[in-house]
Structure 1
Amino acid sequence: MVDIFDEVSEDLRAEQAANLLKRYGGLLIGAAILVLAGIGAQQGWQWYQAKQNDKAATAYIALANQIDAQGGSLTNDQRVADAKAFVNFAATAPEGYRTLAKLKAAGFYADAGQIDAAEGLWNDVAGDSSADSLLRDLANLLWAQHALGTAPNESVAARLQPLTVPENAYHDIAEETQALLYLHEGKTDLAKSLFAQISADPNAPEAVRNRANGLLAKLNG
């Protein structure tokens, strides 16, 4: 009896499946087509993005080479013009190259003495959730370095705090900037302690260790 019951149940399930296929087969086929179309659209979008990135890379390198060809001795007007060229590039560039172009533009503005314009671009990058975290951290660090002594100390400290953890790629330079902030606040002992920590860190860049040693010697002298 059990075997016959199982056979009848299987026949019924097969019949129901056949009826469902007749009734909804068109919809299932349509859904399958949509899925395949979605896969094709995704691949097409990825191809389009790759092409756009290739175009952006070529344009970015061409612009950088054009500016490098000017040589190292630039007037402030030339630096501002170069900054604007990168800003214009960033306006239509895809993610990644847009961020790099903004950072380049900010550097030229800063070198030209237009710190407000530079800080605006660093803020743009730092607040861009689509930007690479390393570049966002770099933007925060550059903002803090240039805002030191002009922006509220609390604002500078807040930007530096997440950068000073050992896991951060910029933590040595961030600690150096934090020590300078301590000096600005009149917290000499904290500054000396942090400079000593940096100078004793074998993993810190040599230039950062040397600066820390020099400042520590002056503070102790």
Structure 2
Amino acid sequence: MPIHAVIFDIGNVLIEWQPERHYDRVLGKERREAMFAEVDLHGMNDLVDQGHHFTDTIYDWAEKYPDWRDEIRMWHDNWIELASPEIPHSVRLLRALRSKKIPVFALTNFGVQNFDYATTVYPFLNEFDRSYVSGRMKTVKPHSDIYQRVEEDCQLAPETLLFADDRLENIEAAQARGWETHHFTTPQGWAERLVSAGLLTPNEAQ
């Protein structure tokens, strides 16, 4: 069955998301490793992705760990430096699909306030035909209900959706619902998948 919509994850597909890299640069690797061993920063971020308030969640978390208060607040105060840079080839693929009138959606684990902020820094985040943001939906990948809600909202059959994500568990959850998928590791690999699906020509996918 032909593909009727292409769905992009955002973190590590359109924008690099490597918080450890930022902290290594600011704190040094040894101190960063000590902090991450003591403080569940990714667990904190999961709450934001589930819809908890971006500022309140991080600042409250920082108060639980006074020895790391300032460093934890960096997750909020320097957030755009954690979520950078954009991945230019992936952005070109997004725009190439849209130029051919192929519907393009976002399906992302992302908080409400920081997604709104990201759209002011990365204009391409405003270019999706539909944006499915976990914080707004109050459910996250890889839970099956987020995929079901996408299907119900866009009214497209699962087998007509092509979804790229960097996390294998998210891909497997989509596959379980019958979606076509691509495990994203490089933008070139994603480009080749879009060409093989007949959505872009090799030249359009450059």
TM-score (norm 1): 0.28
Counting strand residues as a fraction of each chain, which structure ranks higher? 2
Q: Relative CO higher for 1 or 2, CA cutoff 8 Å, sep ≥ 6?
A: 2
Counting helix residues as a fraction of each chain, which structure ranks higher? 1
Q: Which structure has the greater CA radius of gyration? A: 1
TM-score (norm 2): 0.30
